[in-house]
Amino acid sequence: MAVYTHLTAAEIAEFLDAYDVGDLRSAKGIAEGVSNSNWLIETERAHASQRFILTVFEARTEADDLPYFLSLLDHLAAKGLPVPRTIHTRDGALMREARGKPCALIEFLPGVSVDEPEPAQARAVGIALADLHLAAEDFPQSRASSLSLPICVQMLRDNAAKFDEIDPQLDTIIPDCGAGVLEHWPVDLPAGTIHSDLFPDNVLSVGDRVTGLIDFYFACSGILAYDLAVTHAAWSFDLADNAFRPDVGHALIEGYESCRPLSDAERGALPLLAQGACLRFVATRVEDWFATPVDGLVRRKNPMQFAHRLAFYRAQGEAAFTL
């Protein structure tokens, strides 16, 4: 939620020169995304204006992976999904540099992110996620997750000695740093290309209609039902008191299954997959907790939010997913 790289208007205009998008009319640094710098750009050509998002990829996004992310946007947009197209340069390139950093120009999509999702919105997101899984079936590229469960378990082990500094309950909830979840992790579920970070922040809507799935910079190859479990864990809890919202969770799964029904094996794995999803967010937030100075530019997210959700999924088992 910050602009890390300040490009001047002249630098942005020079950047746009490589694209067939008209002349720069407006550029506003926007507070969107936690890892990259984003501008909302407006251009004009023949009295028609167009809007784009210009993203400067900061160190945290691996530059080698950018062609994967940007090609995936193109693949999904071409199939009619509400995903921002990557704008190509006149030479057909997916990205170019500004200030020595890789940058991409992508389509601007309307819509707002909901903060407190209602069932109708969750259902629409379930449909959109299933659409995404189906549309990506023939996407030819692959990418290993940089936050796979073994990696997350290791991240937690590296910080386990300091869990008490965050919250005395953290060690009680994951005394094994997730080893138990890892041990039973399914290996034979349907896999494909997944978003893997579909938080409410990353979904734009107008009313109950999904107008944008954004921020694909954690997309990777993975278990499809894991993506649904991530989305379930991200959407189905009250922000204020972290209480489970069964109506929202059920609507999400019902929407998903209306496009892509789950197999019995997938359905049976959801409780464990959801615990794995929670472990990942606990692990990354624990790392960020110790890496971020208290007065820093980035607000720390509390790892306990997802630790408590993990405990919920472990306690509830299949009941959390029963329609």
Residues binding a copy of itself (CB under 8 A): 1-3, 8-10, 12-13, 23-32, 40, 42, 44, 110-116, 204, 206, 293, 295-297
Q: Kindly state the smallest distance separating residue 52's Cβ from a copy of itself, in Å.
A: 13
> How far is it, in rounded angstroms, from Cα 195 to Cα 283?
18
Nearest to 110 by CA among 184, 35, 214, 18: 214
In terms of CB distance, is 13 or 93 closer to a copy of itself?
13
In terms of CB distance, is 30 or 160 closer to a copy of itself?
30
Q: Kindly state the smallest distance separating residue 7's Cβ from a copy of itself, in Å.
A: 9
In terms of CB distance, is 206 or 319 closer to a copy of itself?
206
3-state secondary structure of 315: helix
3-state secondary structure of 203: strand
In terms of CB distance, is 24 or 228 closer to a copy of itself?
24
Q: Kindly state the smallest distance separating residue 295's Cβ from a copy of itself, in Å.
A: 4
In terms of CB distance, is 106 or 155 closer to a copy of itself?
106
3-state secondary structure of 60: coil
Nearest to 106 by CA among 79, 83, 128: 83
Instruction: Count Cα atoms within 13 angstroms, Cβ side, for 155.
Output: 21
Residues facing 27 on adjacent strands: 41
Q: Kindly state the smallest distance separating residue 11's Cβ from a copy of itself, in Å.
A: 9
Q: Kindly state the smallest distance separating residue 41's Cβ from a copy of itself, in Å.
A: 10
Instruction: Say if residues 43 and 50 touch (Cβ distance below 8 Å).
Output: yes
End-to-end CA distance of the chain: 36
Q: Kindly state the smallest distance separating residue 1's Cβ from a copy of itself, in Å.
A: 7
Nearest to 225 by CA among 177, 180, 257: 257
In terms of CB distance, is 193 or 202 closer to a copy of itself?
202
